[in-house]
Structure 1
Amino acid sequence: MVEERSFISKTLNGFNAGVLVFITLLCLYPVWYTLVVSLSSKAAVAAGEVFFWPSGFTLSSYKLIVEDMQFFNSFLISLERVVLGSSITFFIVLLMAYPLAKNAKEFGLRNIIMWLLIFCMLFNGGLVPWFITMKSLGMVNNIWGLVLGGGLPVFNVILVMNFFRNLPKELEESAIVDGAGPWRILFHIFMPLSKPVMATILVFTIVYHWNEFFQALVLMTKTENYPLQSYLRQVTIITDPSNMDAESAMRLATTSNQTLNAAKIFVTMLPLLIVYPFFQRYFVKGITLGSVKG
Protein backbone atom coordinates (compact mmCIF):
# COMPACT_ATOMS: atom_id res chain seq x y z
CA MET A 1 0.00 0.00 0.00
CA VAL A 2 2.82 2.36 0.92
CA GLU A 3 4.69 1.48 -2.28
CA GLU A 4 1.55 2.11 -4.33
CA ARG A 5 1.09 5.56 -2.77
CA SER A 6 4.77 6.31 -3.34
CA PHE A 7 4.43 5.33 -7.00
CA ILE A 8 1.33 7.52 -7.43
CA SER A 9 3.07 10.42 -5.69
CA LYS A 10 6.14 10.13 -7.92
CA THR A 11 3.94 9.88 -11.01
CA LEU A 12 2.02 13.02 -10.06
CA ASN A 13 5.26 14.89 -9.25
CA GLY A 14 6.69 13.87 -12.59
CA PHE A 15 3.53 14.99 -14.38
CA ASN A 16 3.56 18.34 -12.57
CA ALA A 17 7.24 18.83 -13.41
CA GLY A 18 6.54 18.05 -17.06
CA VAL A 19 3.68 20.55 -17.19
CA LEU A 20 5.84 23.25 -15.57
CA VAL A 21 8.69 22.58 -18.00
CA PHE A 22 6.26 22.79 -20.92
CA ILE A 23 4.86 26.12 -19.67
CA THR A 24 8.40 27.43 -19.16
CA LEU A 25 9.33 26.51 -22.74
CA LEU A 26 6.17 28.21 -24.02
CA CYS A 27 7.21 31.39 -22.20
CA LEU A 28 10.80 31.26 -23.43
CA TYR A 29 10.07 30.33 -27.03
CA PRO A 30 8.93 33.84 -28.16
CA VAL A 31 12.21 35.30 -26.90
CA TRP A 32 14.21 32.53 -28.59
CA TYR A 33 12.21 32.85 -31.80
CA THR A 34 12.83 36.61 -31.89
CA LEU A 35 16.57 35.99 -31.62
CA VAL A 36 16.45 33.26 -34.28
CA VAL A 37 14.58 35.49 -36.74
CA SER A 38 17.00 38.35 -36.18
CA LEU A 39 19.93 36.04 -37.03
CA SER A 40 18.31 34.55 -40.16
CA SER A 41 18.54 35.70 -43.75
CA LYS A 42 15.83 37.67 -45.52
CA ALA A 43 15.06 34.81 -47.92
CA ALA A 44 14.74 32.20 -45.16
CA VAL A 45 12.32 34.33 -43.15
CA ALA A 46 10.24 35.17 -46.22
CA ALA A 47 10.04 31.47 -47.12
CA GLY A 48 8.89 30.53 -43.60
CA GLU A 49 11.91 28.30 -42.97
CA VAL A 50 12.75 29.71 -39.54
CA PHE A 51 11.40 27.88 -36.49
CA PHE A 52 13.94 26.79 -33.88
CA TRP A 53 17.35 27.58 -35.41
CA PRO A 54 18.66 30.41 -37.58
CA SER A 55 18.49 29.72 -41.31
CA GLY A 56 21.05 31.46 -43.45
CA PHE A 57 22.88 32.84 -40.42
CA THR A 58 23.71 36.53 -40.73
CA LEU A 59 24.38 39.49 -38.45
CA SER A 60 23.20 42.01 -41.04
CA SER A 61 20.28 43.25 -38.92
CA TYR A 62 22.49 44.00 -35.93
CA LYS A 63 25.14 45.64 -38.07
CA LEU A 64 22.52 47.91 -39.61
CA ILE A 65 21.40 48.95 -36.14
CA VAL A 66 24.78 49.60 -34.55
CA GLU A 67 26.69 51.02 -37.51
CA ASP A 68 25.25 54.46 -36.73
CA MET A 69 26.73 56.25 -33.71
CA GLN A 70 23.27 57.63 -32.97
CA PHE A 71 22.34 54.16 -31.71
CA PHE A 72 24.95 54.38 -28.94
CA ASN A 73 23.96 57.96 -28.16
CA SER A 74 20.31 56.92 -27.80
CA PHE A 75 21.36 53.97 -25.64
CA LEU A 76 23.19 56.32 -23.26
CA ILE A 77 20.17 58.65 -23.15
CA SER A 78 17.92 55.71 -22.25
CA LEU A 79 20.38 54.60 -19.58
CA GLU A 80 20.48 58.11 -18.13
CA ARG A 81 16.71 58.28 -18.19
CA VAL A 82 16.35 54.95 -16.39
CA VAL A 83 18.85 55.89 -13.67
CA LEU A 84 17.46 59.39 -13.04
CA GLY A 85 13.81 58.46 -13.50
CA SER A 86 13.94 55.35 -11.32
CA SER A 87 15.80 57.14 -8.52
CA ILE A 88 13.51 60.18 -8.46
CA THR A 89 10.30 58.18 -8.81
CA PHE A 90 11.39 55.72 -6.12
CA PHE A 91 12.12 58.55 -3.67
CA ILE A 92 8.89 60.45 -4.42
CA VAL A 93 6.72 57.33 -4.17
CA LEU A 94 8.34 56.42 -0.86
CA LEU A 95 7.80 59.87 0.66
CA MET A 96 4.18 60.00 -0.49
CA ALA A 97 3.21 56.46 0.48
CA TYR A 98 4.48 56.71 4.08
CA PRO A 99 2.13 59.49 5.33
CA LEU A 100 -0.76 58.13 3.26
CA ALA A 101 -0.38 54.78 5.01
CA LYS A 102 -1.56 56.43 8.22
CA ASN A 103 -5.23 56.90 9.12
CA ALA A 104 -7.12 60.20 8.89
CA LYS A 105 -6.62 60.92 12.60
CA GLU A 106 -2.83 60.72 12.29
CA PHE A 107 -2.69 62.60 8.98
CA GLY A 108 -5.64 64.92 8.49
CA LEU A 109 -5.18 65.55 4.76
CA ARG A 110 -4.92 61.87 3.92
CA ASN A 111 -8.40 61.41 2.42
CA ILE A 112 -8.22 64.61 0.37
CA ILE A 113 -4.85 63.69 -1.10
CA MET A 114 -5.98 60.14 -1.83
CA TRP A 115 -9.03 61.40 -3.74
CA LEU A 116 -6.79 63.75 -5.74
CA LEU A 117 -4.44 60.88 -6.58
CA ILE A 118 -7.28 58.59 -7.65
CA PHE A 119 -8.78 61.36 -9.79
CA CYS A 120 -5.42 62.01 -11.48
CA MET A 121 -4.97 58.29 -12.07
CA LEU A 122 -8.36 57.99 -13.79
CA PHE A 123 -8.36 61.29 -15.71
CA ASN A 124 -5.76 63.54 -17.30
CA GLY A 125 -5.78 66.90 -19.02
CA GLY A 126 -4.93 65.55 -22.46
CA LEU A 127 -1.83 65.56 -24.63
CA VAL A 128 -1.91 69.20 -25.75
CA PRO A 129 -2.27 70.72 -22.23
CA TRP A 130 0.44 68.34 -21.04
CA PHE A 131 2.78 69.49 -23.81
CA ILE A 132 2.04 73.16 -23.13
CA THR A 133 2.77 72.64 -19.45
CA MET A 134 6.04 70.83 -20.17
CA LYS A 135 7.07 73.53 -22.63
CA SER A 136 6.30 76.32 -20.15
CA LEU A 137 8.52 74.54 -17.62
CA GLY A 138 11.41 74.39 -20.11
CA MET A 139 11.35 70.61 -20.50
CA VAL A 140 11.34 70.42 -24.31
CA ASN A 141 14.53 68.90 -25.73
CA ASN A 142 15.55 68.16 -22.15
CA ILE A 143 16.18 64.87 -20.38
CA TRP A 144 14.21 66.17 -17.40
CA GLY A 145 11.06 66.21 -19.51
CA LEU A 146 11.38 62.45 -19.94
CA VAL A 147 12.29 61.91 -16.29
CA LEU A 148 9.66 64.10 -14.64
CA GLY A 149 6.90 63.77 -17.24
CA GLY A 150 5.58 60.66 -15.49
CA GLY A 151 7.49 60.99 -12.26
CA LEU A 152 4.64 60.02 -9.91
CA PRO A 153 2.93 56.75 -10.88
CA VAL A 154 -0.16 56.67 -8.65
CA PHE A 155 -0.48 52.90 -8.91
CA ASN A 156 2.96 52.48 -7.34
CA VAL A 157 2.02 54.88 -4.55
CA ILE A 158 -1.07 52.81 -3.75
CA LEU A 159 0.96 49.60 -3.91
CA VAL A 160 3.57 50.85 -1.42
CA MET A 161 0.95 52.52 0.78
CA ASN A 162 -1.00 49.29 1.17
CA PHE A 163 2.18 47.39 1.95
CA PHE A 164 3.10 49.92 4.66
CA ARG A 165 -0.38 49.67 6.15
CA ASN A 166 0.03 45.91 6.51
CA LEU A 167 3.22 46.25 8.53
CA PRO A 168 2.73 45.69 12.27
CA LYS A 169 1.77 48.92 13.97
CA GLU A 170 3.78 47.88 17.03
CA LEU A 171 7.02 48.42 15.11
CA GLU A 172 6.36 52.11 14.61
CA GLU A 173 5.04 52.56 18.15
CA SER A 174 8.16 50.93 19.62
CA ALA A 175 10.39 53.16 17.51
CA ILE A 176 8.52 56.28 18.65
CA VAL A 177 8.92 55.23 22.28
CA ASP A 178 12.67 54.85 21.66
CA GLY A 179 12.79 58.43 20.31
CA ALA A 180 12.85 57.76 16.56
CA GLY A 181 11.34 60.39 14.28
CA PRO A 182 9.42 59.89 11.00
CA TRP A 183 12.55 59.96 8.83
CA ARG A 184 14.35 57.35 10.91
CA ILE A 185 11.24 55.16 11.07
CA LEU A 186 10.81 55.33 7.30
CA PHE A 187 14.41 54.67 6.27
CA HIS A 188 15.56 52.39 9.09
CA ILE A 189 12.43 50.33 9.79
CA PHE A 190 9.91 50.49 6.97
CA MET A 191 12.33 50.34 4.06
CA PRO A 192 14.32 47.29 5.25
CA LEU A 193 11.03 45.45 5.84
CA SER A 194 9.64 46.46 2.46
CA LYS A 195 12.23 45.04 0.09
CA PRO A 196 9.67 43.01 -1.90
CA VAL A 197 7.44 45.97 -2.74
CA MET A 198 10.48 48.23 -3.24
CA ALA A 199 11.91 45.79 -5.76
CA THR A 200 8.52 45.54 -7.45
CA ILE A 201 8.05 49.27 -7.98
CA LEU A 202 11.69 49.61 -9.00
CA VAL A 203 11.20 46.99 -11.73
CA PHE A 204 7.95 48.66 -12.82
CA THR A 205 9.71 52.02 -13.05
CA ILE A 206 12.74 50.68 -14.90
CA VAL A 207 10.53 48.89 -17.43
CA TYR A 208 8.43 52.04 -17.92
CA HIS A 209 11.37 54.37 -18.52
CA TRP A 210 13.17 51.87 -20.73
CA ASN A 211 10.19 51.00 -22.93
CA GLU A 212 8.38 54.35 -23.12
CA PHE A 213 8.88 56.07 -26.47
CA PHE A 214 5.94 58.42 -27.10
CA GLN A 215 6.98 61.22 -24.73
CA ALA A 216 10.25 61.68 -26.60
CA LEU A 217 8.40 61.94 -29.92
CA VAL A 218 6.36 64.80 -28.42
CA LEU A 219 8.99 66.61 -26.38
CA MET A 220 12.10 66.13 -28.53
CA THR A 221 12.46 68.02 -31.80
CA LYS A 222 15.92 66.64 -32.56
CA THR A 223 16.67 63.00 -33.30
CA GLU A 224 19.91 63.16 -31.33
CA ASN A 225 17.86 63.70 -28.17
CA TYR A 226 15.80 60.53 -28.65
CA PRO A 227 16.13 57.64 -26.17
CA LEU A 228 16.69 54.19 -27.60
CA GLN A 229 13.07 53.11 -27.99
CA SER A 230 12.09 56.32 -29.79
CA TYR A 231 15.14 56.19 -32.02
CA LEU A 232 14.64 52.55 -32.97
CA ARG A 233 11.04 53.30 -33.80
CA GLN A 234 12.28 55.87 -36.31
CA VAL A 235 14.81 53.51 -37.88
CA THR A 236 13.58 52.35 -41.26
CA ILE A 237 14.98 49.97 -43.78
CA ILE A 238 13.78 52.08 -46.69
CA THR A 239 17.17 53.52 -47.44
CA ASP A 240 18.71 54.79 -50.65
CA PRO A 241 21.46 52.27 -51.54
CA SER A 242 23.22 54.87 -53.69
CA ASN A 243 24.24 56.74 -50.52
CA MET A 244 25.67 53.62 -48.87
CA ASP A 245 29.02 51.90 -49.19
CA ALA A 246 29.23 48.45 -50.80
CA GLU A 247 29.29 46.58 -47.47
CA SER A 248 26.20 48.36 -46.12
CA ALA A 249 24.36 47.81 -49.40
CA MET A 250 25.12 44.08 -49.18
CA ARG A 251 23.73 43.94 -45.61
CA LEU A 252 20.65 45.85 -46.73
CA ALA A 253 20.01 43.29 -49.47
CA THR A 254 20.00 40.44 -46.93
CA THR A 255 17.79 42.18 -44.37
CA SER A 256 14.01 42.53 -44.25
CA ASN A 257 11.66 44.51 -42.06
CA GLN A 258 10.87 41.34 -40.12
CA THR A 259 14.50 40.47 -39.36
CA LEU A 260 15.39 44.06 -38.53
CA ASN A 261 12.37 44.45 -36.26
CA ALA A 262 13.26 41.19 -34.51
CA ALA A 263 16.77 42.52 -33.91
CA LYS A 264 15.33 45.78 -32.51
CA ILE A 265 13.03 43.89 -30.15
CA PHE A 266 15.80 41.63 -28.90
CA VAL A 267 18.25 44.50 -28.35
CA THR A 268 15.71 46.53 -26.40
CA MET A 269 14.54 43.70 -24.14
CA LEU A 270 18.03 42.28 -23.44
CA PRO A 271 18.91 44.78 -20.64
CA LEU A 272 15.63 44.01 -18.84
CA LEU A 273 16.28 40.28 -19.14
CA ILE A 274 19.65 40.85 -17.48
CA VAL A 275 18.34 43.09 -14.68
CA TYR A 276 15.18 41.20 -13.74
CA PRO A 277 16.81 38.09 -12.13
CA PHE A 278 18.47 40.33 -9.53
CA PHE A 279 15.05 41.51 -8.30
CA GLN A 280 12.99 38.37 -8.85
CA ARG A 281 13.84 36.76 -5.52
CA TYR A 282 12.20 39.64 -3.62
CA PHE A 283 8.83 38.91 -5.21
CA VAL A 284 8.51 35.60 -3.42
CA LYS A 285 10.29 36.22 -0.16
CA GLY A 286 8.38 37.23 2.96
CA ILE A 287 10.30 39.80 5.00
CA THR A 288 7.90 40.64 7.83
CA LEU A 289 7.24 37.10 9.08
CA GLY A 290 8.26 36.90 12.68
CA SER A 291 9.13 40.59 12.93
CA VAL A 292 6.84 41.00 15.94
CA LYS A 293 6.90 38.52 18.78
CA GLY A 294 3.75 38.16 20.85
Structure 2
Amino acid sequence: MYHKSKGYRIFYALNIGVLITVSILCVLPLLHVLAISFSSASAAEANLVTLWPVDFNIESYKQTLANKQFLDAFLTSVVRVAAVLILSLIITIFTAYPLSKFYLTGGKWIAWFFVFTMLFNGGLIPMYVLIMKLGLLNNIWSLILPHLVNVFNIILMLNFFRGIPKELEEAAVIDGAGHWTILTKIYIPISMPSIATISLFIAVMQWNQWFDGLIFLTDSSKWPLSTLLQNLLIVPDVTNNTLDAETLAVMSEKTIRSAQIFIGALPILIVYPFLQRYFVKGIVLGSVKE
Protein backbone atom coordinates (compact mmCIF):
# COMPACT_ATOMS: atom_id res chain seq x y z
CA MET A 1 0.00 0.00 0.00
CA TYR A 2 2.90 2.34 0.75
CA HIS A 3 4.42 1.90 -2.71
CA LYS A 4 1.05 2.75 -4.31
CA SER A 5 0.51 5.94 -2.33
CA LYS A 6 0.38 9.30 -4.10
CA GLY A 7 3.29 10.68 -2.08
CA TYR A 8 5.52 7.78 -3.06
CA ARG A 9 4.68 8.16 -6.75
CA ILE A 10 5.48 11.89 -6.64
CA PHE A 11 8.79 11.24 -4.86
CA TYR A 12 9.67 8.48 -7.32
CA ALA A 13 8.93 10.71 -10.33
CA LEU A 14 10.97 13.62 -8.89
CA ASN A 15 13.83 11.30 -8.04
CA ILE A 16 13.94 9.88 -11.56
CA GLY A 17 13.74 13.38 -13.04
CA VAL A 18 16.64 14.66 -10.95
CA LEU A 19 18.81 11.64 -11.78
CA ILE A 20 18.10 11.96 -15.49
CA THR A 21 18.91 15.68 -15.38
CA VAL A 22 22.21 15.11 -13.56
CA SER A 23 23.11 12.31 -15.99
CA ILE A 24 22.48 14.55 -18.99
CA LEU A 25 24.56 17.35 -17.48
CA CYS A 26 27.44 14.89 -17.01
CA VAL A 27 27.22 13.46 -20.54
CA LEU A 28 26.74 16.69 -22.54
CA PRO A 29 30.30 18.07 -22.06
CA LEU A 30 31.78 14.75 -23.16
CA LEU A 31 29.55 14.64 -26.24
CA HIS A 32 30.54 18.22 -27.07
CA VAL A 33 34.25 17.39 -26.88
CA LEU A 34 33.69 14.27 -28.99
CA ALA A 35 31.80 16.27 -31.61
CA ILE A 36 34.57 18.87 -31.85
CA SER A 37 37.21 16.16 -32.27
CA PHE A 38 35.38 14.83 -35.35
CA SER A 39 34.66 18.28 -36.84
CA SER A 40 36.59 20.41 -39.31
CA ALA A 41 38.92 23.17 -38.19
CA SER A 42 36.73 25.98 -39.52
CA ALA A 43 33.61 24.71 -37.77
CA ALA A 44 35.43 24.18 -34.46
CA GLU A 45 37.10 27.61 -34.51
CA ALA A 46 33.80 29.30 -35.40
CA ASN A 47 32.05 27.56 -32.46
CA LEU A 48 29.51 25.96 -34.80
CA VAL A 49 29.81 22.54 -33.17
CA THR A 50 27.34 21.57 -30.46
CA LEU A 51 26.60 17.86 -29.92
CA TRP A 52 27.06 16.65 -33.50
CA PRO A 53 30.19 16.84 -35.70
CA VAL A 54 30.28 19.41 -38.52
CA ASP A 55 32.17 18.31 -41.67
CA PHE A 56 32.98 14.91 -40.16
CA ASN A 57 36.61 13.76 -40.39
CA ILE A 58 39.09 11.74 -38.33
CA GLU A 59 42.26 13.70 -39.10
CA SER A 60 42.63 14.83 -35.48
CA TYR A 61 42.71 11.23 -34.30
CA LYS A 62 45.21 10.27 -36.98
CA GLN A 63 47.47 13.12 -35.91
CA THR A 64 47.07 12.27 -32.22
CA LEU A 65 47.81 8.55 -32.66
CA ALA A 66 50.85 9.42 -34.79
CA ASN A 67 52.23 11.64 -32.02
CA LYS A 68 55.01 9.68 -30.30
CA GLN A 69 54.98 11.87 -27.19
CA PHE A 70 51.24 11.27 -26.75
CA LEU A 71 51.63 7.49 -27.15
CA ASP A 72 54.56 7.39 -24.72
CA ALA A 73 52.55 9.39 -22.18
CA PHE A 74 49.59 7.05 -22.63
CA LEU A 75 51.83 4.01 -22.02
CA THR A 76 53.34 5.67 -18.94
CA SER A 77 49.85 6.23 -17.51
CA VAL A 78 48.89 2.60 -18.18
CA VAL A 79 52.03 1.32 -16.44
CA ARG A 80 51.48 3.69 -13.55
CA VAL A 81 47.84 2.74 -13.02
CA ALA A 82 48.58 -0.99 -13.27
CA ALA A 83 51.49 -0.81 -10.82
CA VAL A 84 49.68 1.34 -8.25
CA LEU A 85 46.48 -0.70 -8.59
CA ILE A 86 48.14 -4.07 -7.98
CA LEU A 87 50.54 -2.98 -5.24
CA SER A 88 48.04 -0.74 -3.47
CA LEU A 89 45.37 -3.47 -3.41
CA ILE A 90 47.87 -5.93 -1.92
CA ILE A 91 48.89 -3.43 0.77
CA THR A 92 45.27 -2.45 1.48
CA ILE A 93 44.06 -6.04 1.89
CA PHE A 94 47.04 -7.20 3.96
CA THR A 95 46.72 -4.15 6.22
CA ALA A 96 42.94 -4.21 6.64
CA TYR A 97 42.69 -7.95 7.39
CA PRO A 98 44.70 -8.02 10.65
CA LEU A 99 43.28 -4.67 11.76
CA SER A 100 39.77 -6.06 11.35
CA LYS A 101 40.43 -8.53 14.17
CA PHE A 102 39.30 -7.15 17.49
CA TYR A 103 41.63 -9.53 19.31
CA LEU A 104 44.74 -8.02 17.63
CA THR A 105 46.95 -6.55 20.37
CA GLY A 106 47.28 -2.82 19.81
CA GLY A 107 45.11 -2.97 16.71
CA LYS A 108 42.99 -0.02 17.79
CA TRP A 109 46.02 2.22 18.25
CA ILE A 110 47.52 1.14 14.94
CA ALA A 111 44.25 1.98 13.19
CA TRP A 112 44.21 5.43 14.82
CA PHE A 113 47.81 5.94 13.71
CA PHE A 114 46.65 5.47 10.10
CA VAL A 115 43.76 7.88 10.64
CA PHE A 116 46.19 10.46 12.06
CA THR A 117 48.05 10.54 8.74
CA MET A 118 44.81 11.57 7.01
CA LEU A 119 44.57 14.68 9.19
CA PHE A 120 48.23 15.71 9.33
CA ASN A 121 50.96 15.31 6.73
CA GLY A 122 54.31 16.86 5.91
CA GLY A 123 53.16 18.69 2.80
CA LEU A 124 54.58 19.14 -0.66
CA ILE A 125 58.10 20.38 0.17
CA PRO A 126 59.01 17.49 2.55
CA MET A 127 57.60 15.07 -0.03
CA TYR A 128 59.75 16.61 -2.76
CA VAL A 129 62.84 16.48 -0.52
CA LEU A 130 62.12 12.82 0.29
CA ILE A 131 61.74 11.89 -3.38
CA MET A 132 64.97 13.77 -4.16
CA LYS A 133 66.91 12.07 -1.33
CA LEU A 134 65.70 8.67 -2.53
CA GLY A 135 67.02 9.45 -6.01
CA LEU A 136 63.60 9.08 -7.61
CA LEU A 137 63.40 12.43 -9.39
CA ASN A 138 62.67 11.99 -13.08
CA ASN A 139 61.82 8.34 -12.38
CA ILE A 140 58.45 6.66 -12.88
CA TRP A 141 58.65 5.25 -9.34
CA SER A 142 58.14 8.79 -8.03
CA LEU A 143 54.61 8.49 -9.47
CA ILE A 144 54.00 5.08 -7.91
CA LEU A 145 55.50 4.78 -4.43
CA PRO A 146 53.79 7.82 -2.79
CA HIS A 147 50.35 6.46 -3.73
CA LEU A 148 50.65 2.86 -2.56
CA VAL A 149 49.18 3.42 0.92
CA ASN A 150 45.75 5.03 0.79
CA VAL A 151 44.33 5.25 4.31
CA PHE A 152 40.81 5.96 3.07
CA ASN A 153 40.79 2.70 1.09
CA ILE A 154 42.25 0.81 4.05
CA ILE A 155 39.44 2.07 6.30
CA LEU A 156 36.83 1.08 3.72
CA MET A 157 38.26 -2.42 3.46
CA LEU A 158 38.70 -2.63 7.23
CA ASN A 159 35.04 -1.85 7.88
CA PHE A 160 34.00 -4.28 5.15
CA PHE A 161 36.04 -7.11 6.67
CA ARG A 162 34.50 -6.39 10.08
CA GLY A 163 31.05 -6.71 8.54
CA ILE A 164 31.72 -10.27 7.35
CA PRO A 165 29.96 -12.73 9.71
CA LYS A 166 32.45 -14.17 12.17
CA GLU A 167 30.71 -17.54 11.87
CA LEU A 168 32.40 -18.02 8.50
CA GLU A 169 35.85 -17.65 10.03
CA GLU A 170 34.96 -19.81 13.03
CA ALA A 171 33.76 -22.60 10.76
CA ALA A 172 36.97 -22.39 8.73
CA VAL A 173 39.11 -22.51 11.90
CA ILE A 174 37.24 -25.63 13.05
CA ASP A 175 38.11 -27.21 9.69
CA GLY A 176 41.79 -26.43 10.28
CA ALA A 177 42.17 -23.35 8.09
CA GLY A 178 44.80 -20.76 8.90
CA HIS A 179 44.71 -17.01 8.36
CA TRP A 180 46.12 -17.27 4.83
CA THR A 181 43.42 -19.74 3.80
CA ILE A 182 40.70 -17.71 5.49
CA LEU A 183 41.84 -14.55 3.73
CA THR A 184 42.23 -16.04 0.24
CA LYS A 185 39.33 -18.52 0.30
CA ILE A 186 36.70 -16.60 2.27
CA TYR A 187 37.41 -12.91 2.76
CA ILE A 188 38.71 -11.98 -0.70
CA PRO A 189 35.99 -13.83 -2.70
CA ILE A 190 33.24 -12.31 -0.54
CA SER A 191 34.89 -8.88 -0.74
CA MET A 192 34.93 -8.64 -4.56
CA PRO A 193 32.32 -5.83 -4.62
CA SER A 194 34.43 -3.78 -2.21
CA ILE A 195 37.67 -4.62 -4.02
CA ALA A 196 36.12 -3.64 -7.37
CA THR A 197 34.97 -0.32 -5.94
CA ILE A 198 38.37 0.46 -4.43
CA SER A 199 40.03 -0.59 -7.70
CA LEU A 200 37.92 1.92 -9.59
CA PHE A 201 38.80 4.63 -7.06
CA ILE A 202 42.51 3.90 -7.50
CA ALA A 203 42.35 3.69 -11.30
CA VAL A 204 40.44 6.95 -11.72
CA MET A 205 42.62 8.82 -9.22
CA GLN A 206 45.90 7.64 -10.76
CA TRP A 207 44.76 8.12 -14.34
CA ASN A 208 43.77 11.73 -13.64
CA GLN A 209 46.73 12.55 -11.38
CA TRP A 210 48.85 15.18 -13.14
CA PHE A 211 50.47 17.40 -10.52
CA ASP A 212 53.10 14.95 -9.25
CA GLY A 213 54.26 14.29 -12.82
CA LEU A 214 54.80 18.02 -13.27
CA ILE A 215 56.75 18.26 -10.00
CA PHE A 216 58.83 15.08 -9.96
CA LEU A 217 59.52 14.55 -13.67
CA THR A 218 61.79 17.13 -15.26
CA ASP A 219 61.85 15.32 -18.59
CA SER A 220 58.59 15.97 -20.45
CA SER A 221 59.05 12.77 -22.47
CA LYS A 222 58.39 10.81 -19.25
CA TRP A 223 55.19 12.63 -18.34
CA PRO A 224 51.99 10.61 -17.81
CA LEU A 225 49.07 11.40 -20.08
CA SER A 226 47.23 13.58 -17.57
CA THR A 227 50.29 15.81 -17.08
CA LEU A 228 50.79 16.08 -20.84
CA LEU A 229 47.15 17.02 -21.43
CA GLN A 230 47.20 19.59 -18.64
CA ASN A 231 50.30 21.16 -20.15
CA LEU A 232 48.77 21.18 -23.66
CA LEU A 233 45.69 22.98 -22.36
CA ILE A 234 47.89 25.74 -20.90
CA VAL A 235 50.62 25.89 -23.53
CA PRO A 236 49.28 25.75 -27.11
CA ASP A 237 50.66 23.03 -29.34
CA VAL A 238 52.89 24.53 -32.02
CA THR A 239 53.31 21.35 -34.05
CA ASN A 240 50.55 22.49 -36.40
CA ASN A 241 53.11 24.69 -38.13
CA THR A 242 54.62 21.61 -39.74
CA LEU A 243 51.35 20.49 -41.30
CA ASP A 244 50.33 21.23 -44.87
CA ALA A 245 47.51 23.61 -45.75
CA GLU A 246 45.17 20.80 -46.80
CA THR A 247 45.48 19.11 -43.42
CA LEU A 248 45.04 22.37 -41.53
CA ALA A 249 41.74 22.92 -43.33
CA VAL A 250 40.17 19.93 -41.56
CA MET A 251 42.18 19.95 -38.33
CA SER A 252 43.17 22.60 -35.83
CA GLU A 253 44.70 22.90 -32.39
CA LYS A 254 41.21 22.84 -30.88
CA THR A 255 40.13 19.62 -32.64
CA ILE A 256 43.43 17.91 -31.77
CA ARG A 257 43.09 18.84 -28.10
CA SER A 258 39.53 17.52 -28.09
CA ALA A 259 40.67 14.23 -29.62
CA GLN A 260 43.46 13.93 -27.04
CA ILE A 261 41.08 14.67 -24.17
CA PHE A 262 38.56 12.08 -25.36
CA ILE A 263 41.24 9.41 -25.86
CA GLY A 264 42.51 10.22 -22.37
CA ALA A 265 39.05 9.65 -20.88
CA LEU A 266 38.29 6.56 -22.97
CA PRO A 267 40.05 3.91 -20.78
CA ILE A 268 38.00 4.84 -17.70
CA LEU A 269 34.81 4.89 -19.79
CA ILE A 270 35.62 1.37 -21.00
CA VAL A 271 36.56 -0.06 -17.60
CA TYR A 272 33.69 1.41 -15.57
CA PRO A 273 30.82 -0.71 -17.04
CA PHE A 274 32.68 -3.91 -16.11
CA LEU A 275 33.10 -2.81 -12.47
CA GLN A 276 29.77 -1.05 -12.03
CA ARG A 277 27.86 -4.31 -11.59
CA TYR A 278 29.76 -5.02 -8.37
CA PHE A 279 28.43 -1.83 -6.77
CA VAL A 280 24.90 -3.18 -6.47
CA LYS A 281 25.78 -6.81 -5.91
CA GLY A 282 24.88 -8.39 -2.55
CA ILE A 283 27.94 -8.53 -0.29
CA VAL A 284 27.32 -11.30 2.23
CA LEU A 285 23.65 -12.00 1.54
CA GLY A 286 22.95 -15.66 2.08
CA SER A 287 26.51 -16.51 3.11
CA VAL A 288 25.37 -17.65 6.56
CA LYS A 289 22.60 -20.16 6.96
CA GLU A 290 20.36 -19.85 9.96
TM norm structure 2: 0.86
Q: 1:84 to 1:240 in 2, by over 3 A?
A: closer
SS of 2:215 mapped into structure 1: helix
2:238 is aligned with 1:239: yes
Amino acid at match of 1:131: Y
Cα 1:253–1:59, aligned 2, differ >3 Å: closer, same or farther? Answer: closer
The answer for the alignment partner of 2:166 in structure 1 is 169
Using the TM superposition, give the Cα deviation of residue 86 of structure 1 relative to its aligned residue in structure 2, in angstroms.
0.4
Note the C-alpha offset of 1:121. Answer: 1.1
Q: Identify the residue that residue 136 of structure 1 maps to in structure 2.
A: 133
Instruction: Indicate yes or no: 2:271 matched with 1:272.
Output: no
Question: Hey, what does 1:109 align to over in structure 2?
Answer: 106
- Per the alignment, residue 190 of structure 1 pairs with 187
Larger mean Cα displacement after TM superposition, 186-195 or 141-150? 141-150
Instruction: State the aligned residue count.
Output: 280
Q: 1:291 aligns with which of 282, 287, 290?
A: 287
Task: Give matches, 1:66-215, under 5 Å.
Answer: 66-103=65-102, 106-215=103-212
Partner of 1:34: 33
Mark the runs of 5 or more structure 1 residues left unpaired by the alignment. Answer: 1-5
Counterpart CA distance in 1 for 2:138 and 2:22 is 44
Q: What letter matches 1:263 in structure 2? A: A
Structure 1, residues 1-46: CA drift from partner, whole Å, max 9, x if none? xxxxx9x9xx99x968984666654443332222012222343234
Map of 2:53 onto structure 1: 54
Stretch moving more, 34-43 or 276-285: 34-43
3-state SS of 1:149 partner:
helix
The Cα shift of 1:52 comes to 2.4
CA distance in 1 between counterparts of 2:79 and 2:206 reads 10
Q: Which moved more, 1:162-171 or 1:259-268?
A: 259-268
User: Following TM superposition, by how much is the alpha carbon of 1:237 offset from its aligned partner in structure 2, in angstroms?
Assistant: 3.0
After TM superposition, the structure 1 stretch with the greater mean CA deviation from structure 2, 272-281 or 116-125, is: 116-125
Any conservation in 2 of the 1:61–1:251 contact (CA below 8 Å)?
no
Please state how far the C-alpha of 1:279 moved relative to its aligned partner.
0.8
> Aligned-pair distance for 1:154?
0.8
Secondary structure (helix, strand or coil) at the match of 1:198 reads: helix
CA gap of 1:240–1:268, structure 2 versus 1, over 3 A, is closer
Q: Secondary structure at the match of 1:290?
A: coil
Cα displacement (A) at 1:226? 1.0
Q: How far apart in 2 are the matches of 1:25 and 1:180?
A: 51
Moved more, 233-242 or 69-78: 233-242
SS at match of 1:162: helix
Q: Secondary structure at the match of 2:144?
A: helix
CA distance in 2, matches of 1:47, 1:241: 18
Report the counterpart of residue 226 of structure 2 in structure 1.
229
Offset, 1:282: 0.5
1:234 partner amino acid: N
* CA distance in structure 1 between the aligned counterparts of 2:278 and 2:224, rounded to whole angstroms: 29
Letter of the structure 2 residue corresponding to residue 109 of structure 1: G
Gaps of 5+ in 2: none
Contact kept? 2:240, 2:248, Cα under 8 Å: no
Deviation of 1:116 after TM superposition, in Å, equals 1.6
Shift of 1:241: 6.0
What TM-score results when the alignment is normalised by the length of structure 1?
0.85
Q: CA deviation at 1:100?
A: 1.4
